[in-house]
Structure 1
Amino acid sequence: MEFSEGLYAVKVRAEAMQEASEAVPSGMLSVLGQRQSNFSFACMEAREHCKSLGIENPVCQVSNYLFPDCRVISGHLEALQFLRKNSAKYYFRRTKMLPVSGGFHTCLMEPAVEPLVKILGMIDIKKPLVSVHANVSGHKYMHPGHIRKLLGQQVVSPVKWEQTMHAIYERKKGTEFPSTFELGPGRQLGSILKNCNRQAWKSYNHVDVMQSSTDPDHSELGWNGPQV
């Protein structure tokens, strides 16, 4: 899509999600667990706790799959507070509330879907020239209609980043991994890749976009071979 159209779609999406987040006190909780952690069971008990407080149709679910044993859980604030208080019971090693205004990527964002779908229907979306993976499923976008459908679903669906990493880096044993470049501030995506696929991470490089492209510190990156 055209860059200006993309920015406008982002604006519409952000405003609609903000309005939805103001309707219910909700948030997102980053959880570092371990193999014994049962995220689904923990969320179920958190919802039952909310029901005991008189909250109808409480929401508490995994909203981001980051890497093995690391999840983000979204939902009613009471549910997230319950999980933090009982973190030892669920074998959570660390929990941290994220500085966001709502329980994103859950059904709480349902009111934001229609405005986004409406604006996407007005935009001329073309088939990608390169492989682009949807974090709704981890699979590649196939055609413009597929893009419109999944971008709408993404607002209320968990972000399957871990699954996307596995899909991108899946290859036959002995095949070299591509060079991977993370563009922008921070190295968070590189850290996630390291936890998902250490072999692929060995070909990872970070590019700080605030530095000049002629910066000699970046001369070793090169652009040979496939990139992700």
Structure 2
Amino acid sequence: MAKVAFLFPGQGSQSVGMGQELLNKEQVSKKIFEAADKTLGYSLTEIMVNGPEETLRRTEHTQPALLTMSTAVLELFKEENIKPDFVAGHSLGEYSALVAAGAMTFEDAVFAVRNRGLFMEEAVPFGEGAMAAVLGLEREVLEDVCQSVSKETSESAELANLNCPGQIVISGSAKGVEIAGEKAKEAGAKRVIPLQVSGPFHSSLMKPAADKLEGVLKDLTVTDATVPVIANSTANAVQDASEIRKNLIEQVYSPVLWEDTIRTLLDEGVDLFVEVGSGNVLAGLVRKVQRRANVVSVSDRDGVLKVKEMLEGVTG
């Protein structure tokens, strides 16, 4: 039997028009969009389908939008009775993974990520924090660079997203990230690309957001997961509800260990990686970790049926 991992995208995978086809064709998916609008008290669907892009790009909308899209596609997998052996999500995608694993209801998750987005926006005044992608530098070297910046200046620079070999995002104060970017180039980085984000996500500057999120999660139900969830902050498989809750708080201000997450899944014998939702960012990252990995990105019924065929080919 093939082992399947469902992967769920995070911020950066959104696009105006996402979900339009599902709304038009899939009743089971349409119910997810309706549930999101009802839970949030405004038409997230309208923003997803018609934009404008700058509204969709606001963290408070992006996060619930991507969760909604992923869950709407997930419903199609359920209809075809395709279940994952493992789940993982990149940053906010961890909430989609928890919905897939039955640890949270969609309504609770969409409420949580909307608040998570707001808290992350509020944690650091606009312009005071920054993030940048550093290409072509070893993790250990970049870690040393960030630590030296934090030691030698009063600025902060930290590893935020360890996406794949040679692609790491740093996060911190605007000045700290700028200095770390210059030092990274001196240390041999091929490129340093400032990211268009509204804050220093996955850095210790997000601690106030994590504290507020803890208050929100306290009132929501989290149950044991039915399948192992690979946690962002540890890259370990978890199913225990209290551990899941703890991880959701920590991941706001901790690095996303995505490369490690994929390696954990490969070590577990996963044969097929399925990116569920909008875009194909994660498929690209998986291939950079393991070039020969079997990866497919799915955003509609045709994609679900393709996965079904692939699995029948393996088991038949």
TM-score range normalised by the length of the shorter chain: 0.7 to 0.9
Could you tell me which amino acid in structure 2 is paired with residue 146 of structure 1?
E
Q: Secondary structure at the match of 2:232?
A: coil
Say which one has the larger Rg. 1
Question: Counterparts of 1:40-189 in structure 2 under 5 Å?
Answer: 40-48=143-151, 51=153, 56=154, 58-171=155-268, 177-189=270-282
Aligned to 1:27: 130
Which stretches in structure 1 are left out of the alignment for 5+ residues? none
> What is the distance in 2 between the residues matched to 1:204 and 1:28?
28
Return closer, same or farther for 1:35/1:146 CA change in 2, 3 Å cut-off.
closer
Q: Secondary structure at the match of 2:122?
A: helix
Do the aligned residues in 1 keep the contact of 2:185 with 2:192 (CA within 8 Å)? no
> What is the distance in 1 between the residues matched to 2:206 and 2:214?
13
Deviation at 1:44, TM superposition (A): 2.9
Could you tell me which amino acid in structure 2 is paired with residue 222 of structure 1?
K
* Bigger helix fraction: 2
> What is the distance in 2 between the residues matched to 1:115 and 1:35?
34
Which stretches in structure 2 are left out of the alignment for 5+ residues? 1-103
Do the aligned residues in 2 keep the contact of 1:37 with 1:90 (CA within 8 Å)? no
Do the aligned residues in 1 keep the contact of 2:226 with 2:239 (CA within 8 Å)? no
Return closer, same or farther for 1:37/1:148 CA change in 2, 3 Å cut-off.
closer
TM-score, normalization by structure 2: 0.61
Shifted more, 81-90 versus 110-119: the winner is: 81-90
What whole-Å deviation, never above 9, does each CA across 1:129-169 have from its counterpart, x for those lacking one?
12211111011123111111111111111110011111111
Deviation at 1:12, TM superposition (A): 1.6
Identity %: 26
> What is the distance in 2 between the residues matched to 1:154 and 1:38?
23
Instruction: Please state if 1:193 is matched with 2:286.
Output: yes
- Pick aligned residue for 2:299 from 186, 194, 208: 208
Q: Secondary structure at the match of 1:189?
A: helix
Return closer, same or farther for 1:183/1:135 CA change in 2, 3 Å cut-off.
same
Return closer, same or farther for 1:159/1:37 CA change in 2, 3 Å cut-off.
closer
Q: Secondary structure at the match of 1:66?
A: strand
What count of residue pairs does the alignment treat as equivalent? 209
Return closer, same or farther for 1:95/1:130 CA change in 2, 3 Å cut-off.
same
> What is the distance in 2 between the residues matched to 1:221 and 1:8?
30
Deviation at 1:206, TM superposition (A): 1.9
Deviation at 1:87, TM superposition (A): 4.2
Shifted more, 151-160 versus 78-87: the winner is: 78-87
Shifted more, 139-148 versus 161-170: the winner is: 139-148
Could you tell me which amino acid in structure 2 is paired with residue 31 of structure 1?
V
- Does 1 or 2 have the higher relative contact order (CA < 8 Å, sep 6+)? 2
Q: Secondary structure at the match of 2:229?
A: coil
TM-score, normalization by structure 1: 0.82
Deviation at 1:23, TM superposition (A): 7.1
> What is the distance in 2 between the residues matched to 1:204 and 1:169?
12
Could you tell me which amino acid in structure 1 is paired with residue 247 of structure 2?
L
> What is the distance in 1 between the residues matched to 2:157 and 2:143?
9
What whole-Å deviation, never above 9, does each CA across 1:27-54 have from its counterpart, x for those lacking one?
11101124597102221343356x2xxx
Q: Secondary structure at the match of 1:38?
A: helix
> What is the distance in 2 between the residues matched to 1:44 and 1:114?
25
> What is the distance in 2 between the residues matched to 1:9 and 1:218?
27
